[in-house]
Amino acid sequence: MNLLHRIEYWGDHHHPKWLDLVRIALGIFLCYKGVQFMRNTGVLIDLMSDKMSFGQFTLVLLSHYIVFAHIMGGFLLALGLLTRFACLIQIPILLGAIIFVNTAPGMMQPFSELLVCRKGKAVSMQWL
């Protein structure tokens, strides 16, 4: 236990305070975006329906998840509570934004940049 106490003591005394400010700012920004998405749910659903061919019920569920994750995750991040959980619930939103919303036409076609990167990563992982 002595080693664990020393590691905890070192971590408590070597924590940069500016990272707390970044965490709080990110949490407040996520809460703001969650409220903005809640006020403009129709625009959010229209944006998602243009890029994804899901049913209306699925789009409503996704929009509710986005609003919940942004508000709750931002609140938890701003307070510093369950920060790993708060970041974990943001990951599906980020992946959805990268893959579905910000894709150019033809991104999922053969020999596109996304698929070439996946193949390159798979080949490089075989060498490990």
pLDDT tens for 67-98 read: 999 999 999 999 999 999 999 999 999 888 87
Question: How far apart, in whole angstroms, are the C-alpha atoms of residue 34 and residue 54?
Answer: 22
pLDDT tens for 38-53 read: 999 998 888 888 777 7
Query: Is 103's pLDDT higher than 80?
Result: no
**Is residue 50 within 8 Å of 59, Cβ to Cβ?**
no
Question: How far apart, in whole angstroms, are the C-alpha atoms of residue 120 and residue 114?
Answer: 10
Inter-helix orientation angle 41-51/56-79, to 10°: 120
Across 12-32, b (16+ Cβ under 10 Å) vs e yields eeeeeeeeeeebeebbeebbe
**Nearest of 41, 39, 8, 28 to residue 75 by alpha carbon:** 28
Is this structure's pTM higher than 0.75?
Answer: no
Q: Whole-angstrom distance between the N-terminal and C-terminal Cα of the chain?
A: 36
Q: Hey, how many other C-beta atoms are within 10 angstroms of the C-beta on 84?
A: 7
